[in-house]
Amino acid sequence: MTRLHRTTLLEAGFPWQELRDIARREGTVKPAIYSMHRWWARRSPTLFRFILAASALAPGQADQLGNAASRTDLLSDSVVLDPFVGGGTSLVEATRLGAKVVGYDIEPLAGWITESELASFGSTVDWEPLDEVIEAARSEFSKYYPAPTGWQVLHYFWVARISCNSCHRSFDGHPSAVLARDLGRGYMVGICRYCSRLHRVDPDRRRIDCECGGRTTLDGRTAGLGAVACPHCGFEERLTDTTSRAGRIPFRLFAKELISKHDPNHRRFANATRTDHRAYDSAAAALELERDLSIPNGAIPPGRHDGRPQIFGVTSWRQMFNCRQLLHHATVRGQFRRLPDPVRRYAQLAFSESLATNCMFCFYSTDYRRIAAAFSIHGYMSVARPVELNPWVDGSGRGTLLNCIKKVRRGVDSVGSLSPAKQHIYVRSSEHMRELKDASVDLILTDPPFYHDNLEYDRLAGFYSSWGDEILKPSTGSPLQLSNGEGEFARRLADILRECSRVLKRDGIIAFTFAHARASGWNALDEALSSCGLSLTAAIPVEAEGSNGFHSHPGNLKWNGLFVCRKGRPEMEFDPAPLREAMDDIALSDADRVNLARALAVARKHASKARGANGR
């Protein structure tokens, strides 16, 4: 890349509106490589690729952007750095364009995921050793998931067993009386509130009369996933309150969903039988006996914003699973560990990805009739009626081990024919990037954590990491988003930006996103920019990930500023038009408008050369 102080398309004439539309169309369906393992705040891959491509083009070349963004040699002479790699989007996209990539993240899981995504480029994996292990384990485990001939268990349903705080009788704590509903096939599965027997009824039925003598109203009302209602007296309580008075809540297996081996569309619900209980008990007994299995025994670190999951009595990682799940996970993990490279890495990735759908924090979505993974809404929510997936079901069933392996294989296959990545990923804070020489990087593209990010990557990642101690590199230090006050955040961000400036080549470019719902967050950025030796050459509005709010910053902002900076004070005129155009968009929320106005103010102040005398 020959740039030498010439303005780039990223800094003048970047077609942000067209890219917004492209990224919107891409939506949540991302390329297969990003489905290998969950990460929480992934940026739009297309947007990142176009940003990278625009840094290699001149201002008048907007019409060549699409073409440039698909050239595998576009950045082949460049080094691209991301000091906060997260799920790896920037570096994966830079690799597609042929760059040499370097990344830092303080979170070991992020480092491992990114390194694995990059390792897939150009790799040929022999899957046979994995297939063999899977076949053996599958038959070994089949006794723990018994089913009638021609059928397989897909889901087991568990329910909290509670003693009522009002009438003092015991009951199964169902959050709602409807387990599943299929309007297409015209049925609904109701649960007797007294004995938990299942009743298959018409979807418009209002009531079930059970052979136990109990009568249940099917009003579709839900006490809430983490709340339960006593069938005897109607007393409602949140699980957290139940726990604080009665201790950790036991769960009882009451039903299952079966899937036909011949026709995956054919499924049925059934009450749990003695055989089901015996199978579970024998898994629990095997877990007792297997002294060699290694199971995480660490404590879950306390949350900073709420007391979950400790407030419902779950204090250690192992308590997030039932005995059958622990036996399964520990066995599989041990076997995967002995696989040869490189298939071992991908098996371990699939195993890790399967954890969030194979734990007791999953619930069943009534209308979609499928499992919702732990953390699918946010953080650690309590689930009164957890669902346990049979990890050995193939094809159907979201998040079974076999399906996670398929996802990883698809990810690897999707980039296997491309050139291998030239990558270095370091698990540590980017405050000191001592592996990097002065003036050695062409381009930095990053998405820093925002101050007081209420997304606790470290605590969510801990769930996966508790099973990955032998794979993940250790890390020390505290994440930037958890800085102790805005002053510390600004100082640390400035340190990192200064490090970025040090490693950037003389004509290098750094582009980073930023948003904050409060003025104080912007003050922190202002302060950091004042002392890092960088000046701003462009500010572009970019849409943040997720209407799902997972790229969560306080105030639920949908827009971020993308700040483009250079070293020193190059003669480049800052153009406020893109931010202004976005602010004129009538579809903008008030919070977003204020946010972009603040972005513009900070941008003007730190512009390398402001347009006009008064900065307008």
Ligand X SMILES: C[S@@+](CC[C@H](N)C(=O)[O-])C[C@H]1O[C@@H](n2cnc3c(N)ncnc32)[C@H](O)[C@@H]1O
Q: How far is the CB of 512 from ligand X (least distance, A)?
A: 10
The answer to the question of residue 110 lying near ligand X (CB under 6 A) is yes
Site mask for ligand X (CB under 6 A), range 115-134, x = bound:
--------------------
- Which residue type is seen at 174? H
Which of residues 47 and 602 has its CB atom nearest to ligand X in the complex? 47
3-state SS string for 186-235: CEEEEECCCCCCEEEECCCCCEEECCCCCEEECCCCECCCCEEECCCCCC
447 binds, among Zn ion, ligand X, none (CB under 5 to 8 A by kind): ligand X
Contact in structure between 322 and 160 (CB atoms under 8 Å): no
Q: Cβ contacts of residue 175 below 8 Å, gap of 6+? A: 222, 223, 224, 225, 226, 227, 228, 229, 384, 385
- Which residue type is seen at 68? A
At which residue do the structure tokens 């732990």 appear? Answer: 374
Site mask for Zn ion (CB under 5 A), range 151-180, x = bound:
-------------x-xx-------------
Q: How far is the CB of 192 from Zn ion (least distance, A)?
A: 3
Contact with Zn ion (CB under 5 A): which of 32, 62, 195, 439?
A: 195
CA distance readout (Å), 368 to 51, 93, 364, 372, 395:
37, 33, 8, 10, 16
Q: What SS3 class is residue 550? A: coil
Q: How far is the CB of 113 from ligand X (least distance, A)?
A: 9
Contact with Zn ion (CB under 5 A): which of 194, 200, 284, 527?
A: 194
Which of residues 233 and 482 has its CB atom nearest to Zn ion in the complex? 233
Which of residues 309 and 449 has its CB atom nearest to ligand X in the complex? 449
Which of residues 82 and 172 has its CB atom nearest to ligand X in the complex? 82
Cα gap 1→134, rounded to integer Å: 47
CA distance readout (Å), 330 to 297, 325, 334, 381:
12, 8, 6, 24
The answer to the question of residue 201 lying near Zn ion (CB under 5 A) is no
Contact with ligand X (CB under 6 A): which of 14, 36, 37, 87?
A: 87
Other Cβ atoms less than 10 A from the Cβ of 66: the count is: 13
The answer to the question of residue 361 lying near ligand X (CB under 6 A) is no
80 bridge partner residues: 101, 443
Contact with Zn ion (CB under 5 A): which of 65, 85, 192, 562?
A: 192
CA atoms within 13 A on the CB side of 576: 22
Contact with ligand X (CB under 6 A): which of 50, 84, 251, 574?
A: 84
Q: Which pair of tokens denotes residue 96?
A: 């597609």
* Strands 559-567 and 504-514, bridge-based pairing: antiparallel
What's the farthest any 2 CA atoms get from each other in the chain?
85
Q: How far is the CB of 490 from ligand X (least distance, A)?
A: 13
Q: Cβ contacts of residue 345 below 8 Å, gap of 6+? A: 116, 119
Identify the sign of the CA torsion 191, 194, 197, 201: negative
By CB under 6 A, the count of residues binding ligand X is 23
Which of residues 176 and 446 has its CB atom nearest to ligand X in the complex? 446
The answer to the question of residue 427 lying near ligand X (CB under 6 A) is no
Contact with Zn ion (CB under 5 A): which of 129, 214, 533, 549?
A: 214
- Which of 272, 191, 189 shows the shortest CA–CA distance to 231? 191
Contact with ligand X (CB under 6 A): which of 300, 460, 480, 600?
A: 480
Which of residues 14 and 39 has its CB atom nearest to ligand X in the complex? 39
Listed ranges 34-42, 192-200, 239-247, 283-291: which one lies at the site for ligand X (CB under 6 A) = 34-42
Contact with ligand X (CB under 6 A): which of 296, 386, 397, 449?
A: 449
Contact with Zn ion (CB under 5 A): which of 200, 232, 337, 498?
A: 232
Other Cβ atoms less than 10 A from the Cβ of 277: the count is: 12
Using CB positions, name the residue nearest to ligand X: 86
Residues 38-57 that bind Zn ion (CB under 5 A): none
The answer to the question of residue 242 lying near ligand X (CB under 6 A) is no
What residues line the site for Zn ion (CB under 5 A)?
Answer: 164, 166-167, 192, 194-195, 197, 210, 212, 214, 230, 232-233, 235
Using CB under 6 A, list all residues that contact ligand X: 39, 41-43, 83-84, 86-87, 89, 104-107, 110, 429-431, 447, 449, 457, 479-481
